[in-house]
Amino acid sequence: MKTYVLDANALLDFAEAGPGAQKVKNLLQGAFRGEASLLVSVLMWGEVFYHFWQQHGGEKARQNLATLSRLNLTLVLVDTAQALKAGEIKAQHKIPYVDCVAAALAEISGATLVTSDRHFEKLGRRVQILWTARPSR
């Protein structure tokens, strides 16, 4: 079974019918059929909540997260190994720490990172990336 780590913009693309929504939907369908495992760091979950709150207010943010929580996603707590790996990635690649947490989860899990966030271009071949949409400049 293939494992994927969804970053915040992959979840937001799906929830808001963005340019990468279909690729994320395909992954979700694969997870439903037992062909894939989809991981989301709790920090990405918080970032999605923050985005919804900023765009739509607190109540709508809670509703949107409740809807997303019904999907076949596994929320992963950040442990010490992941936090330290994220710090290593931050030191070496100079990308936002919360993005480093997603990359660290992918690296530790041997998973493919799902994103359209251009920050991840700086990782080179460190982790396998499934681009949901062309990274914007």
Question: How do residues 6-58 score in pLDDT, each as one tens digit?
Answer: 999 999 999 999 999 999 999 999 999 999 999 999 999 999 999 999 999 99
Tens digits of per-residue pLDDT, 82-124?
999 999 999 999 999 999 999 999 999 999 999 999 999 999 8
Domain ranges of the chain: 9-131
pTM for this model (two decimals): 0.93
Rounded distance between C-alpha atoms, residue 30 and residue 127, angstroms: 21
Which superfamily, per CATH, for 9-131? 5'-nuclease (3.40.50.1010)
